Structure formats: structure tokens, C-alpha cells
């Protein structure tokens, strides 16, 4: 089995968890954060890598482990943003090439959608396209090469399966080892614990991998740092799925973009536009 050897390090100092107009309150109530837990950064148990422990930055709401996976109904308080037969030109389904079930899972309130389309269900290669809805029409704003899990994609992600979860998930929080990039509007949690060391499966350095990250709201508490260890649906469903800086090959479940591209993404995402990521292999997204 191919596995990455990514290990967290750092002193735990130098935190800045405030986003624009957003404060994160530290509290002893609720969950205890026991380790840095990005699925992309979890070292194999056989590797014996040690992880730095820290307290959770508590607060916020909870996301589902299987949030809006294609084939499931959209939340009751939302209507589809696209995907019905006979839609006018400029619908999300037409613009992004999504299938009816996938498009129907995108909340009607969303005006920014990052579509990550994997080459194949067993491939780590993908393309990311950022769509924005303006004046009732969806248009592609940016297109970037991307990578996903080493073993590809799955509609039923499990911890350690080296596959990225297929589905539609909100993008609520960001962070990283480096200072908040200019123009970032999502809450940004700067922390020295966003560090991975060692090398990937392909022998590439992991230095700088977590300089910038955007948390995918898969099986996590929302409104807290991406480092938060909470797993509302249980540890078996995995978690810590992030968009982060590419290291040249497949991940343990995250999606990666080049450094300059993820900085552009951070500058583009706006919480007022309810950004979501639609992610999966091409066949799954066409359903």
C-alpha cells in the first residue's frame, strides 16, 4: 500500500485565528483537539510518526460526513442551483457539465462553486474550475490543474483509504502557516502547527504544503480552525479534508493546487457568496 509520510511539527506558538470581522473564542467546553489531523497529513500508523497535540478552537456549527453527495437530496431549506431539464443557457449544469443529481445538490444560495473533476475514479489527477454566478448566469472564472487522493475517489470515504470523498461541501474556513494573503475574505486561522515534514509517496518534499489551506466541510465542526480534530460522524469516516498547496503527487484524501493558484482561490472566495466545492471523478459528477 502506498502511503505518504507527512508529520506535523512546530512549537504551537504564533496563532492568529481572526478573519475579517470574525473572532474565534477559545474555550474549554466541548471537544479536545488531540492532534493535527488533515487526512493529507496523517502519517501511516506503521510509520510511527508523532503528531503535535493542541486544544480545539471551539465553536461553530457541524458539517455532515456525507454532505450532499450526488444521489442524495439537497437540504430541505435549499433549492437546486441548477440541474433541471430544459434550463436556460448559463445554468450551472450546462456551464460545468454536471449531472442532474450533482447539480441539484448545490444550494440555491451559492454563487461560487469550485468544481474539481478527477480524471478517473482511480486517478490522482484532476482539474479545478471556479464558477461564479453573476446576473443569473454561471461563468468559469479560473481553471487550474489539481490533484486528489492517491487512489482516486470514493462516495464512501473512510479514514486511511487514500481516496478523496465525492460530494458537494461548503467552504467555510481557511488558514495556514503563513500570514493571511491579501484579499482573503474567509475566516483565516494562522498557526505554526500548519507544518508537514518528510516526503510524499513520490519522494517529493512536503515543506510548505500547509502554508495555505481551505477546509472542506466534510465531517468537521464549522467556524473553527481547519486544525480542529472534531469528527461529528466519527473517526471511521475520516476528516481533515483540505484544499492545500500541491506537493507534486497524490494525497491521502485532500485536493491540492499550485501555490499561486490557491492564493488566487483564497482571494476569490467570499463567504457572502456561500462558496462550495463539487468534487469527484468525472463519471460520478456526471450523474
- Residues with catalytic roles: 244, 254
Cβ-based neighbours of 286, under 8 Å, separated by 6 or more: 97, 98, 99, 102
Contact of 242 with 30, CB cutoff 8 Å? no
Dist. CA 146–CA 250, nearest whole Å: 10
Total residue count of the chain as it appears in this document: 287
112 φ/ψ angles, rounded to the nearest 5 degrees: -135, 125
Helix (H) or strand (E) holding 268, with range, is helix 259-268
Dist. CA 236–CA 192, nearest whole Å: 27
Dist. CA 216–CA 259, nearest whole Å: 18
C-alpha cell at 283: 463519471
Dist. CA 46–CA 64, nearest whole Å: 29
Give the SS3 label for residue 137: strand
Amino acid at each position: 500500500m502506498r502511503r505518504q509520510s507527512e508529520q506535523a511539527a512546530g512549537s504551537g506558538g504564533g496563532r492568529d485565528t481572526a478573519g475579517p470581522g470574525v473572532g474565534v473564542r477559545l474555550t474549554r467546553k466541548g471537544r479536545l483537539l488531540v492532534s493535527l489531523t488533515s487526512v493529507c497529513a496523517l502519517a501511516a500508523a506503521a510509520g510511527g510518526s508523532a503528531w503535535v497535540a493542541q486544544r480545539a478552537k471551539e465553536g461553530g456549527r457541524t458539517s455532515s460526513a456525507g454532505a450532499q453527495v450526488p444521489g442524495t437530496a439537497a437540504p430541505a431549506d435549499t433549492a437546486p442551483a441548477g440541474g433541471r431539464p430544459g434550463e436556460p443557457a448559463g445554468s450551472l449544469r450546462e456551464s460545468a457539465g454536471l449531472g442532474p443529481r450533482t447539480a441539484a445538490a448545490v444550494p440555491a444560495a451559492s454563487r461560487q462553486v469550485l468544481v474539481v473533476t478527477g480524471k478517473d475514479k482511480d486517478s490522482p489527477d484532476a482539474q479545478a474550475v471556479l464558477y461564479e454566478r453573476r446576473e443569473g448566469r454561471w461563468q468559469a472564472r479560473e481553471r487550474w490543474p489539481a490533484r486528489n487522493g492517491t487512489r482516486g475517489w470514493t462516495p464512501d470515504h473512510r479514514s486511511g483509504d487514500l481516496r478523496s470523498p465525492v460530494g458537494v461541501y461548503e467552504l467555510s474556513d481557511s488558514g495556514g502557516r503563513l500570514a493571511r494573503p491579501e484579499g482573503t475574505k474567509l475566516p483565516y486561522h494562522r498557526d505554526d502547527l500548519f507544518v508537514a515534514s518528510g516526503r510524499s509517496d513520490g519522494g517529493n518534499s512536503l515543506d510548505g504544503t500547509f502554508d495555505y489551506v481551505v477546509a472542506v466541510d466534510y465531517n468537521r465542526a464549522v467556524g473553527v480552525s481547519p486544525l480542529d480534530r472534531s469528527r461529528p460522524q466519527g473517526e471511521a469516516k475520516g476528516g481533515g479534508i483540505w484544499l492545500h498547496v500541491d506537493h507534486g503527487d497524490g494525497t491521502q484524501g485532500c485536493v491540492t493546487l499550485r501555490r499561486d493558484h490557491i492564493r488566487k482561490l483564497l482571494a476569490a472566495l467570499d463567504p457572502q457568496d456561500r462558496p462550495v466545492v463539487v468534487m469527484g471523478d468525472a463519471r460520478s459528477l456526471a450523474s
